């Protein structure tokens, strides 16, 4: 949107808030050094000039800078060789400067209770060249309690240091120095671009990154003396929302370019955030030093006072207004806030016939401009022109001449091919931008000259909407009468072979074709149909020819002949026999079955509820007696089925025979007199034994119970001799049986 200066009201007042416990005031700092060369007074020594910046919140109860002449804490810096303490340097009073938080954004209004200062310390030191690093360290407590991204910020301080590596010592290296003071105020949801680059007097390669700020000092040891050597403890970020690489949080996060040091992004989380920026110094591919800045960034919501806007398409760089033919344009101003807008200035440059321009200007909020005619015009609308915090909107007006749309469709009326559409539009000086074709069947195209294949015949209303580059349109509608003959007559029968009655569904796959076409089917058995996809039932065996004729509504004709297309075979006949044909019983349950069917390709035997098989000639052992229906279902090669059922009688049989003697002497051999045989199915069983006097000595109804030689098996022992036995029972199918014999008792 052109020149963009917004006057902003800071509505989030957390900037540089103070901590009420101990000396909470530190908001950042860094230390750099310059090697000025060999010390003329001490051979082998190099002279280093150090500069340290400490930034503090000067509003509220925060402590002043160290070495304050009014009684503040005396500042010291500790020098270490590696981790071995060397000496303490006492600092002179710093050079104190008031920081303007709006320096990076002059249109930010800062509340009166916001105050920030920088204290700059200068000191120098002569140091002998060593094979290990020097560490020059300054530590101080404490940070502001209101910091959002680290744990217990009011209880920890900061460490600012430089490390002079052996390479840096030998080559009299100077550290890089940051070029700009970081922005103290960052507006949430507004794009941030800050150049955090540094300058290196030695021309070394610099690599930038976010890094973890370092703790230093505490509530119990505000200013350590001496300062503590490395390794240093980094601050503890509040995970997972914050980290050293994502110190401001939000999504997407703010980033720093490793090559340029440019910090970019759009922070969207409000609060106070401690950020560490490190710049690594490389010479010939070797890291020779790292400079770190520690600073407190304040992200808050900022609200624009005035914003230029118009009714039109905001393209980012200009508001675009288009008109079709009409050259009288009303432009509506949507700029805000009107209470803070004192003046409007509209400026247009109108081309004249001589190649120059004629200026037009207006000073009202809304304007009506009578442009000369079709063409392209540029202008600018400025709010509060000439003031520091104004805003502007560029304007682009395009007036299009009328366009005259037209098209044609080319195709062979009797050939089922595509239609070639040609755009015949007269743009009349405009530049055509888009073409919208509606083929009348629900399908569309955005090509200028498309080729389209219809899927169905019909009368189609084709629409073409032509649009030029500024959005002006013309609409044209034309008819396409598309009723060609089919390219080929194609159909798919549901069945092509089978047994009568064979029902066949003829699925017509010819293209194009619909109910407006005249269709005649001849099925080869003196039957006809006039449907698109008919169904027909063949009742007798044979091979049948199919003949199809098709005529479109505009007289296009096509036919096809399909000889011997349907094959109807005779029905199968199921039959079988079995052996033995009779005398199948529980004593002879195995039956051999032989298929005697005609035109069978598959067999399915069912032996009652017992079992089944698909063997052609099975052998089956019946597990029980009784009447069993044996079913054979045969399947023809074409899937026709015939079934036959025959009933087999599996006769249940029993056997019973009597012994002629027994020896009840308890030797477990032949101790009882009882019958033997197969008893399953015996009913109404009765066995009675008499002595020679006609007295009953034993009787039972259980065929498995025998006589043990005592009266009724519990009484007096019977004498040796011959006893009369009679057994009566009924067979499984009710036939009575009687067995008579003699029981000879021998002891």
Residue 11 has pLDDT above 70, yes or no: no
Full-model pTM: 0.48
Kindly state whether residues 428 and 313 are assigned to the same domain.
Answer: no
Tell me, yes or no, whether 593 and 718 share the same domain. Answer: no
Same domain, yes or no: 543 and 614:
no
The encoded tokens of residue 36 equal 């000025």
Mean pLDDT of 520-537: 95
Domain check: are 541 and 604 in the same one? no
Residues 295 and 310 in one domain: no
Q: What is the pLDDT averaged over residues 245-273?
A: 90
Q: How far apart are CA 721 and CA 723, in angstroms?
A: 7
Query: Is residue 390 located within the same domain as residue 420?
Result: no
Q: Any idea how long the chain is?
A: 747
Which DSSP symbol is given to 570? P
User: Does residue 63 contact residue 75 with C-beta atoms inside 8 Å?
Assistant: no
393: containing domain? 304-400
pLDDT at residue 351, rounded to an integer: 84
Q: Are residues 396 and 415 in the same domain?
A: no
Q: Look at residues 547, 568, 589 and tell me which one is the last residue of a structural domain.
A: 568
CATH number at residue 317: 2.60.40.10
Choice among 61-70, 256-265, 483-492 with the minimum mean pLDDT? 61-70
Residue 6 domain flag: no
Q: How far apart are CA 744 and CA 691, in angstroms?
A: 11
pLDDT band at 105 (very low <50, low <70, confident <90, very high): low
Phi, psi at 340, each rounded to 5°:
-110, 5
pLDDT at 638 over 90: no
**What whole-number distance in Å separates Cα of residue 264 and Cα of residue 194?**
7
Question: Residue 24 — very low, low, confident or very high, per pLDDT cuts 50/70/90?
Answer: low
Instruction: Tell me the DSSP string of 419-476.
Output: EEEEE--B-TT--EEEEEEE-SSS-EE--SS-EE--SS-EEEEEEEEEEETTS-EEEE
- Mark whether 622 and 517 lie in a shared domain: no
Structure tokens at 380: 């600018």
Q: By three-state DSSP, how is residue 42 classified? A: coil
Question: Considering the domain boundaries, does residue 656 fall inside one?
Answer: no
Q: Is residue 655 part of a domain?
A: no
Handedness of CA 99, 102, 103, 104 (dihedral sign): positive
Q: Are residues 665 and 641 in the same domain?
A: no
More confident residue, 102 or 588: 588
pLDDT value at residue 193: 83
pLDDT band at 697 (very low <50, low <70, confident <90, very high): very high
Q: Which two tokens stand for residue 634?
A: 């045969």
pLDDT(114) > 90? no
Give the tens place of pLDDT for each residue, 619-635.
999 998 889 999 999 99
C-alpha 423/C-alpha 407 separation (Å) is 5
pLDDT band at residue 354, thresholds of 50, 70 and 90?
Answer: confident
Query: What pLDDT, on the 0 to 100 scale, is given for residue 73?
Result: 56
d(CA 360, CA 377): 11
pLDDT at residue 29 above 80? Answer: yes
CB 173 within 8 A of CB 35: yes
What is the torsional sign of CA 284, 286, 291, 296? positive
CA 299/CA 188 separation, integer angstroms: 6
* 418 and 516 fall within a common domain: no
33 and 123 within one domain: yes
Q: Out of 514, 545, 568, pick the residue that ends a domain.
A: 568
If DSSP codes are grouped into helix, strand and coil, which group holds residue 700? strand
DSSP labels, 291-305: EEEEEEEEEE-EEES
- Give how many domains the chain has, as a whole number: 6
Residue 8 lies in a domain: no
Residue 98 lies in a domain: yes
Q: What's the whole-number average pLDDT of the chain?
A: 88
Residue 388: predicted pLDDT: 53
Mean pLDDT of 52-72: 69
Q: Say if 1 falls within a structural domain.
A: no
Q: Is residue 194 part of a domain?
A: yes
180: in domain: yes
pLDDT of 69 strictly over 60: no
Residue 192 — pLDDT band, cuts 50, 70, 90?
confident
Tens digit of each residue's pLDDT (9 = 90 or more) over 490-501: 999 998 888 889
Q: What is the CATH number of the domain that holds 681?
A: 2.60.40
Residues 468 and 327 in one domain: no
Label residue 4 by pLDDT band (50, 70, 90). Answer: very low
Q: Choose among 88, 89, 92: nearest CA to 67.
A: 92
Q: Which of 541, 568, 595 is the last residue in one of the domains?
A: 568
- d(CA 507, CA 356) in angstroms, rounded, equals 74
CA–CA–CA angle 285, 289, 293 (5° rounding): 125
More confident residue, 681 or 177: 177
């Amino acid at each position: 949107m052109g020149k963009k200066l917004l006057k902003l009201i800071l509505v989030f007042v957390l900037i540089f808030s103070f901590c009420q416990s101990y000396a909470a005031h530190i908001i950042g700092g860094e230390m750099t050094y310059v090697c000025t060369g060999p010390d003329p007074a001490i051979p082998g020594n190099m002279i280093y000039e150090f500069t340290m910046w400490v930034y503090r919140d000067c509003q509220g109860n925060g402590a002043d800078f160290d070495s304050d002449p009014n009684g503040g804490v005396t500042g010291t810096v500790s020098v270490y060789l590696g981790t071995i303490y060397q000496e303490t340097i006492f600092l002179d009073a710093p050079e104190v400067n008031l920081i303007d938080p709006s320096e990076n954004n002059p249109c930010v209004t800062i509340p009166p209770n916001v105050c920030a200062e920088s204290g700059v310390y200068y000191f120098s030191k002569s140091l002998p060249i060593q094979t290990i690093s020097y560490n020059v360290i300054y530590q101080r407590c404490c940070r502001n309690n209101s910091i959002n991204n680290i744990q217990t910020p009011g209880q920890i301080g900061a460490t600012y240091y430089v490390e002079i590596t052996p390479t840096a010592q030998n080559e009299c290296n100077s550290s890089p120095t940051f070029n700009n003071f970081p922005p103290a105020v960052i507006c949430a949801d507004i794009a941030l671009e800050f150049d955090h680059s540094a300058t290196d007097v030695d021309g070394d390669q610099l690599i930038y990154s976010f890094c973890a700020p370092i703790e230093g000092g505490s509530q119990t040891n505000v200013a350590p003396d001496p300062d503590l050597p490395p390794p240093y403890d980094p601050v503890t970020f509040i995970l997972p929302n914050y980290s050293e690489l994502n110190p401001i949080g939000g999504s997407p996060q703010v980033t720093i370019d490793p090559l340029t040091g440019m910090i970019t992004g759009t922070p969207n989380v409000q609060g106070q955030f401690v950020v560490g920026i490190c710049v690594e110094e490389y010479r010939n591919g070797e890291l020779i030093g790292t400079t770190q800045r520690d600073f407190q960034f304040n992200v808050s919501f900022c609200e624009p006072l005035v914003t230029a806007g118009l009714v039109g398409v905001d393209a980012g760089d200009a508001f675009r207004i288009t008109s079709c033919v009409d050259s009288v344009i009303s432009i509506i101003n949507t700029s805000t806030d009107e209470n803070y807008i004192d003046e409007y200035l509209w400026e247009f440059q109108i081309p004249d016939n001589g190649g120059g321009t004629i200026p037009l200007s207006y000073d009202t909020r809304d304007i009506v401009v009578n442009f000369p005619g079709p063409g392209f015009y540029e202008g600018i609308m400025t709010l509060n022109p000439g003031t520091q915090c104004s805003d502007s909107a560029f304007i682009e007006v395009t007036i299009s001449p009328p366009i005259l749309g037209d098209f044609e469709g080319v195709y062979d009326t009797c050939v089922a091919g595509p239609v070639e559409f040609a755009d015949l539009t007269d743009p009349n000086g405009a530049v055509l931008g888009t073409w919208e074709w509606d083929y009348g069947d629900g399908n569309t195209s955005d090509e200028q000259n498309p080729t389209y294949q219809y899927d169905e015949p019909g009368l189609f209303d084709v629409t073409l909407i032509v649009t030029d580059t500024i959005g002006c349109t013309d609409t044209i509608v034309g008819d396409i009468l598309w009723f060609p003959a089919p390219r080929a007559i194609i159909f798919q029968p549901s069945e092509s072979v089978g047994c009568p009655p064979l029902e066949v569904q003829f699925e017509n796959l010819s293209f194009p074709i619909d109910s407006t076409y005249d269709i005649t089917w001849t099925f080869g058995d003196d039957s006809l149909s006039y449907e698109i996809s008919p169904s027909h039932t063949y009742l007798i065996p044979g091979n049948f020819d199919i003949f199809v004729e098709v005529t479109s509504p505009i007289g296009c004709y096509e036919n096809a002949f399909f000889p011997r297309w349907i094959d109807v075979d005779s029905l199968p006949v199921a039959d079988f026999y079995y052996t033995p044909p009779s005398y199948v019983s529980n004593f002879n349950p195995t039956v051999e079955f032989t298929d005697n069917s005609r035109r069978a390709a598959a067999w399915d035997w069912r032996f009652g509820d017992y079992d089944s098989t698909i063997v052609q000639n099975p052998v089956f052992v019946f597990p029980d007696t009784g009447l069993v229906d044996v079913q054979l279902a045969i399947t023809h090669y074409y899937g026709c089925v015939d079934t036959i059922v025959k009933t087999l009688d599996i006769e249940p049989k029993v056997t019973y025979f009597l012994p002629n003697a027994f020896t009840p002497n308890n030797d477990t051999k032949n101790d009882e007199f009882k019958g033997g045989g197969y008893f399953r199915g015996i009913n109404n069983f009765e066995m009675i034994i008499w002595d020679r006097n006609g007295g009953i000595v034993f009787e039972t109804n259980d065929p498995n119970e025998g006589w043990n030689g005592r009266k009724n098996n519990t009484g007096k022992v019977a004498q040796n001799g011959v006893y009369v036995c009679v057994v009566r029972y009924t067979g499984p199918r009710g036939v009575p049986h009687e067995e008579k014999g003699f029981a000879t008792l021998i002891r």
